Amino acid sequence: MSVINITDLEKIYRTEEVETVALNKISFEIKEGEFVAIMGPSGCGKSTLLNILGLLDDLDGGSFKFNDIEVSDFNERKRADMRKHNIGFVFQSFNLIDELTVFENVELPLIYTGIATAERKKMVDKVLDKIQIAHRRNHYPQQLSGGQQQRVAVARAVVNKPKLILADEPTGNLDSRNGNDVMQLLTDLNEQGTTIIMVTRSEHDSRYTHRVINMLDGQIVTQNIKV
């Protein structure tokens, strides 16, 4: 079963004078349980692609099926709904909310999906245990190291048990040791069945994945399937 199936996906940025084709008729499929890396130089369109896959941005042409449902014509409301139940996000710059504690940051997606307080506490505690940061649950993001912050961000991404995790250069702001920790965490999650798509520029990180999609100038150059 495919989590994502896109055909002839197009994304064009228009300003008054210039029209830039960011994604030029891209097609690919991602199956459940896959761990895929998207690679390519700056400006090749990989982040744009990730935003569209994450239902954060809309497309200008082609078809996009998420869980076999056509989502290209979804409005903001429907997309938000789809997002909160199915997709977790991990960012290069962590994007934790400074005013909330570790616990509260992880709890946030559960609040938006409307889960009851007691149940939320249980779920958050469980996931914090799993990433071994439970002892820091009442700290604020600024009080944590980068690696710890990214682990919290991963925890937040998975607390809702999403089908798909989208990671945008998750190790980009980390040193290699912390980076490895985070990659190991993602690998573990993948082994437990979560589909992961990761944008990266690091050859090293891409080795953790099953497959690398190489992009250049808005097009897919190779889809290298490793065994």
Partner 1 sequence: MFKNYIKIAWRNLWKNKLFSFINIFGLAIGISCCILIFLYVQNELSYDTFNEKADRIYRITSKIHQPKKIVWFAPTSPITGERLRQNFPEIKKIVRFNFTKRPISYNNKKFSEATVLYSDSTLFDVFTLPMVSGNPAKALIAPYSIVLTETAVKRYFGDEPAMGKLMKFSDTLNLLVTGIIKDIPKNSHFKCDCIISRNTMADINKGNSDWLEEREKNWFNCDSYSYILLADHVEGKTLEAKANKFLDKEMTETKKAIGMWINVDLQPIKDIHLRSHLDQEIKGAEQGGDITYVYIFSATAILILLIACCNFINLSTARSLNRSKEIGLRKVIGAMRSQLIFQFLGESVVFSLIACILSLIFVLLAIPFFNLFIGTTLTLTLNVFWIYLSLICCIGFLAGLYPALLMSSFSPIQSLKGKINHGLADIFFRKGLVVFQFSIAIILIIGTTLILNQLDFIQNKKLGINKEQVVGIELKGVDQRKGEILLKELSKNPKITGATLNNFNFKGIGYITLLPEGAAENELTACSVFSVDENFLNIMQIELVSGRDFSKNFPTDVNEAFIVNEAAVKAYGWKTPKDALGKKIEWAFGKKGKVIGVVKDFNYASLHNRIEPLLIHIYPSWYNTVTLRLKTDNLTTTMKEIETAWKNSGTENPFKYAFLEDDFNSLYKSEQNMRAVLGAFTFLSVLVACLGLFGLAAFTIKQRFKEIGIRKVLGASVSGVVGLLSKDFLKLVFVSIIISSPIAWYAAHKWLQDFAYKVDISWWIFLVSGAMALLIAFTTVCFQALRAASANPVKSLRTE
Q: Which residues bind partner 1 (CB under 8 A)?
A: 51, 54, 56-57, 76-77, 80-81, 83-85, 89, 91, 95, 97-100, 104, 107-109, 111-114, 156
CA-CA-CA-CA dihedral for 10, 3, 154, 122, to nearest 10: 140
Task: Name the minimum Å distance from CB 51 to partner 1.
Answer: 5
Q: Which is nearer to partner 1, 44 or 212 (CB)?
A: 44
Q: Which is nearer to partner 1, 51 or 224 (CB)?
A: 51
Q: Which is nearer to partner 1, 12 or 187 (CB)?
A: 12
10 Å Cβ neighbour count for 32? 14
What span, in angstroms and rounded, lies between the C-alpha atoms of 143 and 98? 10
Residue whose structure tokens are 């700056």: 42
Which residue from 149, 138, 154 is spatially nearest to 190, judged by alpha carbons? 154
Task: Name the minimum Å distance from CB 225 to partner 1.
Answer: 29
Q: Which is nearer to partner 1, 21 or 80 (CB)?
A: 80
Task: Name the minimum Å distance from CB 63 to partner 1.
Answer: 21
Sign, Cα dihedral of 170, 171, 174, 180: positive
Q: Which is nearer to partner 1, 17 or 177 (CB)?
A: 17
Task: Name the minimum Å distance from CB 96 to partner 1.
Answer: 8
10 Å Cβ neighbour count for 15? 7
Structure tokens at 28: 């690919």
Task: Name the minimum Å distance from CB 14 to partner 1.
Answer: 15
What span, in angstroms and rounded, lies between the C-alpha atoms of 196 and 89? 10
